[in-house]
């Protein structure tokens, strides 16, 4: 089974997404979190299904992104690894990705 490494930043993103949604609907927050976990597994099994991210910084070369299943407003940014994937960030599609990916990593 392929491995899934979730960086501290991606884990913090997931927690913040859950907390934000849970303010109004805890069940919906749980569904988004579970869908993210299922999407991580899908990406680990088929890492090339994501769209290549074209970074300005060479440190982010090889990063791809893919929407969370059934919640396409949330995107998982990840790298293909020899044994699976490394999830770098989980961001809302309308968030400023340059700031969160390129300036913080």
- Kindly state the average pLDDT of the residues 77-99: 87
Integer Cα distance of 9 and 54 in angstroms: 20
- Tell me the whole-structure pTM to 2 decimals: 0.90
The structure tokens 């990063």 sit at: 63
The residues with which 52 forms a beta bridge, in sequence order, are: 64
Task: Give 44-77 pLDDT, tens digit per residue.
Answer: 999 999 999 887 777 788 899 999 999 999 999 9
Q: What's the pLDDT score for residue 98?
A: 61
Number of domains in the chain: 1
In this structure, the number of other CB atoms found within 10 A of the CB of residue 93 comes to 11
Q: What percent of the chain has pLDDT over 70?
A: 90
CATH number at residue 51: 3.30.2310.20
Query: Containing domain of residue 13, as a range?
Result: 3-103
Q: What's the pLDDT score for residue 36?
A: 98
In this structure, the number of other CB atoms found within 10 A of the CB of residue 55 comes to 16
Integer Cα distance of 81 and 56 in angstroms: 21
């Amino acid at each position: 089974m392929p491995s899934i490494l979730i960086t501290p930043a991606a884990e913090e993103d997931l927690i913040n997404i859950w907390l934000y949604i849970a303010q109004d609907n805890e069940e919906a927050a749980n569904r988004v979190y579970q869908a993210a976990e299922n999407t991580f597994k899908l990406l680990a099994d088929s890492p090339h299904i994501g769209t290549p991210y074209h970074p300005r910084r060479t440190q982010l070369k090889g990063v791809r992104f893919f929407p969370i299943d059934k919640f396409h407003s949330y995107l998982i940014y990840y790298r293909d690894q020899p044994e699976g994937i490394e999830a770098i960030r989980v961001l809302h599609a309308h968030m400023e990705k340059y700031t969160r990916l390129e300036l913080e990593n």
